[in-house]
């Protein structure tokens, strides 16, 4: 992966009037959430420029051209361009993806912070799971670049970033309009029209996307979604800004995870569902703006957004365990208004001849949430388990500086303080209440080199994730009536890392990082409830290696591998393995372009075994998948692309869990079993893309 020049380095060169060579200056001015908001990034594949700028071995940028050559079954899989990150799905297409990184089963985003165009995608105190990060609203053609960083070492990254943070920025303008139409197996059809126009001193960009998909399932998903974007931006003078409106809507049927015993006995087919009435509908509408002002005093950035989202999700993971008559289907409702404002200022000062690059910022967020948990049958309400109105507010303050102490030694130090307020009004009064919590976390990075185009990194930092507001005030289980303990609002994580980055071989960029991460409380997915809950303290140790090789201007090879050991750090008779925690992950992508009219790519992904129970007596199998595409340029403005998914037609599992469920005729206590969601069978799609 190409790595991004740090913001401090760009600021120094800008203020001193130096050139930035092959980097677009404004593309690296980021908002307080840490993502570019105003311009497309231009980075040439010159590995020499990466050394001397990155603050760790685990951060980088994936360029638009690399993203365009990826073959992805769903938009969220673009995130698999991040080394060590796996993106999958355990239910219907309209749900948020499931993420795996650095020894975590991150469920729908518990410790992976995702931002798009400055807006936090993760949703706290969500009806289905803490940190819910639904990326279905993303239009891949509009992404200018994808930036990533891992570990709690970055002062501008807050909640949910302990394992890593990924940010994507939309383009302000397109070189040409795009009209795309795709057809494929499994009921796939997609249409997209997007174009930008000069209006006055700025640009107007619009995009409209429509998609339908059935999938290979016995019960067709009948997934339908629309996406729309309208953006105005100005990119001239010392003050630049954009205003963006986005809209998304989707509805679908779900084939949830199924019991292995049901398939083995012939009770259901491998692509079947126990409860075919599961599914959901969702929408998301947002309005955002970003502004930056540059002067001799530095760069001031301002980011403001508000969004409304709505989700109604119907799931059944235990079938007839709790209710032998009506079944165990339940509905999770989440309606929210989320608003945030981020402000930061960057400047350079000099003390006794030593140059200090400074960043200070403030981040505000408010969520007004209405959650519901209902017992349902065929999407009809039978009873209400709980309803909650939540008002959650937070303020984050951070400072970071970078100092070049010696020619071959620099440091990056920072501190971040976060303050959270929770106000829960529940239909069960004893579970209502108010909580407050705060946390301060230091960050430190030491960078040595470069020597022979090689740098060494030592990183330390602590971070956090927030817990669901309902868990911070609840003292009674609303379903069973049993007493429960309240959870801590904020949970600390502490990370350590050593790494190396080298560009000693022409055309090759390589990095290696060994890490450890401790969590005061693990967030675990509960398979029979379909949600996450706070659990025991944990620790993870592992390493990652990433290679990006471009031996010719028409060939790129991208390889990464990660291995992690995840354990609960306390003693318990049940065992210390963390259910679902990923061990080994490997990926290789090969892309060919600029060789005439043909272009193409191939991606191999290895998804390693996971322990499914604390004593490690039950494990998942590993999975290997192969995707690819080949394209032909009919002319300068028209190309046709054939894409293939799961080309090996493997019958492996996208995800596995182990818990108790009950099929008709089984004991009332249920049967413990592996429950899995199959990988979609092999399918092909043809896309016709025209520029205008």
Q: Which two tokens stand for residue 640?
A: 């046709």
What pLDDT is stored for residue 554 in this prediction? 94
CB of 235 closer than 8 Å to CB of 172: yes
CA torsion, ordered 428, 429, 431, 436, to nearest 10 deg:
150
Q: How far is CA 296 from CA 300, 401, 480, in A?
A: 11, 18, 63
User: What is the Cα–Cα distance from 662 to 671, expressed in whole angstroms?
Assistant: 6
Token readout for 633 is 């340029």
Measured distance CA(427)–CA(602) in Å, rounded: 52
**Which residue's structure tokens are 């949970």?**
491
Cα 114 to Cα 165: distance, rounded to the nearest angstrom: 6
**What is the mean pLDDT for each group of 10 consecutive residues in the chain (692 residues)?**
38 31 32 34 40 88 92 95 95 93 94 96 95 97 96 96 96 96 98 97 97 97 97 94 98 95 96 96 97 94 97 96 95 97 95 91 98 96 96 98 94 98 96 97 97 96 96 90 91 97 93 97 64 84 96 95 96 93 97 94 97 96 96 96 97 95 96 96 98 96
Q: Using CB atoms within 10 A of its CB, is residue 414 exposed (0-12), middle (13-18) or buried (19+)?
A: buried
Residue with tokens 């999958």: 88
Residue 311 phi, psi (nearest 5): -135, 130
How far is the C-alpha of 102 from the C-alpha of 153, rounded, in Å? 15
**669-673: long-range pairs with CB below 8 Å, 24+:** 670/318, 670/321, 671/259, 671/261, 673/259, 673/260, 673/261
> What is the distance between the alpha carbons of residues 330 and 352, in angstroms, rounded to a whole number?
65
Q: With contact defined as beta carbons under 8 Å apart, do 84 and 78 qualify?
A: no
Give the C-alpha separation, 451 to 571, whole Å.
Answer: 45
The residues near 587 (Cβ < 8 Å, ≥ 6 apart) are: 80, 83, 558, 559, 560, 561, 603, 604, 605, 606
> b/e string for 681-690 if b means 16 or more Cβ within 10 A?
bbbebebebb
Give dist(CA 266, CA 47) in Å, integer.
55
Q: What is the predicted pLDDT for the residue at 307?
A: 98
Are residues 209 and 135 in contact, defined by beta-carbon separation less than 8 angstroms? no
The H or E element that residue 64 is part of is: helix 64-68
Residues 156, 172: Cα–Cα separation, whole Å: 24
Can you say how many angstroms the Cα of residue 428 is from the centroid of all Cα atoms in its chain?
34
If phi > 0 it is left, if psi is from -120 to 50 it is alpha, else beta; for residue 378 that is left
CA distance 664 to 343: 57
At which residue do the structure tokens 């043909």 appear?
598
Dihedral, CA of residue 150, residue 153, residue 158 and residue 163, to nearest 10: 30
Give per-residue burial for 425-461: e unless 16+ CB within 10 Å, then b: bbebeebbbebebebebebebbbebbeebebbbebbb
Max Cα–Cα distance, the chain, nearest Å? 81
The DSSP call for residue 27 is G
Token representation of residue 147: 């930036």
Q: What is the pLDDT of residue 352?
A: 85
Q: How far is CA 289 from the centre of its chain?
A: 22
Helices (H), 181-223: none
- What local confidence, expressed as pLDDT, does residue 479 receive? 84
CA distance 441 to 398: 9
CATH architecture of the domain formed by 59-246+261-691: Beta Barrel (2.40)
């Amino acid at each position: 992966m190409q790595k991004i020049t740090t913001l401090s380095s760009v600021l120094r060169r800008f203020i001193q009037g130096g050139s930035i060579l092959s980097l677009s200056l404004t593309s690296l001015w980021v908002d307080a959430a840490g993502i570019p908001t105003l311009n497309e990034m231009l980075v040439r594949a010159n590995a020499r420029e990466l050394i001397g700028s990155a603050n760790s071995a685990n951060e980088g940028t994936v360029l638009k051209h690399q993203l365009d050559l990826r073959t992805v079954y769903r938009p969220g899989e673009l995130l698999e361009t991040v080394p060590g990150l796996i993106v999958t799905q355990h239910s219907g297409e309209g749900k948020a993806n499931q993420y795996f990184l650095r020894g975590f089963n991150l469920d729908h985003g518990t410790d992976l912070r995702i931002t798009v165009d400055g807006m936090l995608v993760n949703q706290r105190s969500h009806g289905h799971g803490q940190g819910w990060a639904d990326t279905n609203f993303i239009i891949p053609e509009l992404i200018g670049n994808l930036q990533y960083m891992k570990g709690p070492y970055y002062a501008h990254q807050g909640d949910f970033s302990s394992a890593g943070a990924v940010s994507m920025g939309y383009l302000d303008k397109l070189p040409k309009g795009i009209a795309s139409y795709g057809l494929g197996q499994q009921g796939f059809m997609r249409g997209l029209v997007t174009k930008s126009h000069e209006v006055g001193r700025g640009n107007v960009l619009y995009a409209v996307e429509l998609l339908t998909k059935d999938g290979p399932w016995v019960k067709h998903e009948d997934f339908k979604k629309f996406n729309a974007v309208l953006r105005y931006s100005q990119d001239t003078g010392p003050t630049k800004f954009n205003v963006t409106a986005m809209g998304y809507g989707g509805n679908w049927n779900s084939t949830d995870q199924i019991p292995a015993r049901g398939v083995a006995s012939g009770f259901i087919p491998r692509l079947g569902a126990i409860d075919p009435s599961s599914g959901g509908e969702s929408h998301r509408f947002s309005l955002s703006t970003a502004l930056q002002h540059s002067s001799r005093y530095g760069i001031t950035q301002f980011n403001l957004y508000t969004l409304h989202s709505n989700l109604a999700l119907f799931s059944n993971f235990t079938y007839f365990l709790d209710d032998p008559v009506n079944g165990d289907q339940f509905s999770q409702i989440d309606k929210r208004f989320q608003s945030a404002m981020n402000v930061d200022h960057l400047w350079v000062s000099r003390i006794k001849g030593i140059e200090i690059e400074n960043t200070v910022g403030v981040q505000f967020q408010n969520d007004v949430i209405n959650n519901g948990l209902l017992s349902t049958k065929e999407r009809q309400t039978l009873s209400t388990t709980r309803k909650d109105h939540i008002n959650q507010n937070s303020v984050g303050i951070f400072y970071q500086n970078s100092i070049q102490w010696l020619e071959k030694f620099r440091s990056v130090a920072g501190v971040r303080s976060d303050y959270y307020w929770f106000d829960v009004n529940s239909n069960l009064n004893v579970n209502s209440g108010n909580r407050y919590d705060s946390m301060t976390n230091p960050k430190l990075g030491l960078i040595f080199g470069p020597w022979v185009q090689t740098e060494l990194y030592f990183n330390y930092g602590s971070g956090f994730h927030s817990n669901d507001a309902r868990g911070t005030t609840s003292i009674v289980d609303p379903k069973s009536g049993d007493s429960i303990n309240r959870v801590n609002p904020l949970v600390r994580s502490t990370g350590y890392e050593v790494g190396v980055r080298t560009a000693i071989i022409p055309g090759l960029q390589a990095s290696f990082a060994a890490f450890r991460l401790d969590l005061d409380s693990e967030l675990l997915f509960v398979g029979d409830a379909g949600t996450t809950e706070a659990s025991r303290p944990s620790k993870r140790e592992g390493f990652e290696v990433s290679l990006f090789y471009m031996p010719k201007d028409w060939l790129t090879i991208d390889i990464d591998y990660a291995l992690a050991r995840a354990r609960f750090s306390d003693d318990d008779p049940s065992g210390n393995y963390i259910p679902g925690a990923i061990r080994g992950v490997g990926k290789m992508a090969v892309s060919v372009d600029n060789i005439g009219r043909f272009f193409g790519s191939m991606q191999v992904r290895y998804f390693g075994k996971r322990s499914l129970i604390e004593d490690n007596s039950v494990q998942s199998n590993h999975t290997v998948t192969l995707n690819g595409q080949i394209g032909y340029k009919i002319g300068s403005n028209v190309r046709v692309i054939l894409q293939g998914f799961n080309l090996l037609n493997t019958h492996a599992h996208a995800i596995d869990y182990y818990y108790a469920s009950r099929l008709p005729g089984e004991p009332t206590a249920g049967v413990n079993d592996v429950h899995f969601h199959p990988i979609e069978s092999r399918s092909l799609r043809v896309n016709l893309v025209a520029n205008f």
